[in-house]
Amino acid sequence: MALGLLAVTLLVIVYATVAKRLSTTIITAPILFIGAGVLLSREAMIPDEIAERALHLAAEITLVVLLFIDAAQTDLKALVKHHTWPARMLIIGLPLSVGLGTLAAYPFLPGWPLVAVALLAAILAPTDAALGQAVVTNPIVPERERRSLTVESGLNDGLALPLVLLFACWTAHATSDAAPNWLLFAAKQVILGPAVGALVGWAGGRLLRVAKRADWTNESFEGVATLALAGSAYLAADLVGGNGFISAFVAGLLFGRVTDTACKFIFEFTETEGQLLSWVTFLLLGLTLVPQAIAALTLPALALILVSLLVVRPLAIWISLIGTDAAPRTRLFFGWFGPRGLATALFALLVVPQIDHELAHPLLMLAINAVWISALLHGMSAMPFAKAYAKREGSK
């Protein structure tokens, strides 16, 4: 056990010291940490029970914090007025991804209720910019394109979550006579959660703003308060029967609005502690679930995942940007760089306890396989595709 933990800490240290150099290669943090987790699993250096408990705890904390932080960094007014591309991809492209994903996946999943197929499509819809860092942080890619992908990936997980919860409730109702009234349960989740989140985010943001103007606090303590607000939104919603994750996302939106797109801590956290949370979660996925998922991977499952990555997302994004000034190559670029990452894995972990085991296990395996396949394909293609796109844009 101690040897396994030592290996993890040494990996983090080594990666942190060469991260800038690796950013110019096809080796990304998700590829490295998922791979390291798989190797640790093969060597049995960390007991399975401890690793699984750690994964669920890390997954829950990571999802709450990242939903809040990503939402807090979003300028909603600017998004509506000036950022046509990400707004279109979120408002039109995300629902299209779920709809097209349902139609595309249905032939591959015989015997699945249609709503369960829709649940899988919703889980596969959100994207993760962490898997394409070579694109969203690369200065050779035009700023507008980088900003659009960052804004889209920051918001689409929070917007996809209500659909995931709704389809999960519906699936549970369709596959079990003992399931609660899915409509009432879903309504409580998606109404009480946002209401609590809005209250916590607005009140917390106002309190922090007053304290800052009165010089009662500083940036270090603001950061502590910000994380505590994310946790408060989650726990308060859970107490009243709402969904804590939706609450955290809405709280982040209101907090960012009230505090003028949050405090300096938000941005620093995203680049430091937020990165570490993501790395640890990817490693735990590789340690616990990726080996199982690889063993369960079949040709139809692989085909379904590739259709989702290569057809569903690109087609949805292409359609969503019709009528904008996005050139065809820009639409293709956006369509490809929609990697499936932590949100897909964490949403799957969130809903599997709610649905029938006969559907829960294959759904989880499909989601985890989609994550590591996407990490590999998008990570390896990020740098060469970014260079090719920048070269084409520069030659116009």
3 in any annotated domain: no
Let me know: does 308 contact 288? Beta carbons within 8 Å.
no
Q: Note the pLDDT tens digit of each residue in 113-140.
A: 999 999 999 999 998 866 666 677 778 8
Q: Which residue has the tokens 């299209």?
A: 96
Using the CB atoms, write b or e for 352-372: b if 16+ within 10 Å: bebbbeebbebbbbbbbbbbb
8 is a domain residue: no
Q: Which residues have C-beta within 8 Å of that of residue 34, sequence separation ≥ 6?
A: 282, 283, 285, 286, 290, 371, 372, 375
The answer to whether the CB of 157 falls within 8 A of the CB of 94 is no
DSSP letter, residue 140:
T
Of 9-23, 160-174, 317-331, 350-364, least confident by mean pLDDT is: 9-23
| Spatial contact of 346 and 124, defined as CB atoms under 8 Å apart | no
Residue 4 lies in a domain: no
Question: pLDDT digit string (tens) for 281-334?
Answer: 899 999 899 999 999 999 999 999 999 999 999 999 999 999 998 889 999 999
In a domain, 39, yes or no: yes
User: What is the distance of C-alpha 227 from the center of its chain?
Assistant: 18
Q: What is the CATH number of the domain that holds 234?
A: 1.20.1530.20
300 is a domain residue: yes
Q: Position 97: which residue type? A: S
Side-chain half-sphere of 138: how many Cα atoms within 13 Å? 25
- Asked if residue 337 is part of any domain, the answer here is yes
pTM: 0.87
Tens-digit pLDDT profile for residues 372-395 = 999 999 888 888 888 888 877 654
Number of domains composing the chain: 1
**Is residue 13 in a domain?**
no
Domain of 45, in residue numbers: 31-394
Note the maximum CA span of the chain: 63
Give the mean model confidence (pLDDT) for residues 346-355: 89
CB 262 within 8 A of CB 73: yes
**Mean pLDDT for the chain overall:** 84
- Looking at residue 356, the DSSP 8-state letter turns out to be -
The answer to whether residue 10 is domain-embedded is no
Strands (DSSP E) along 230-366, which ranges?
none
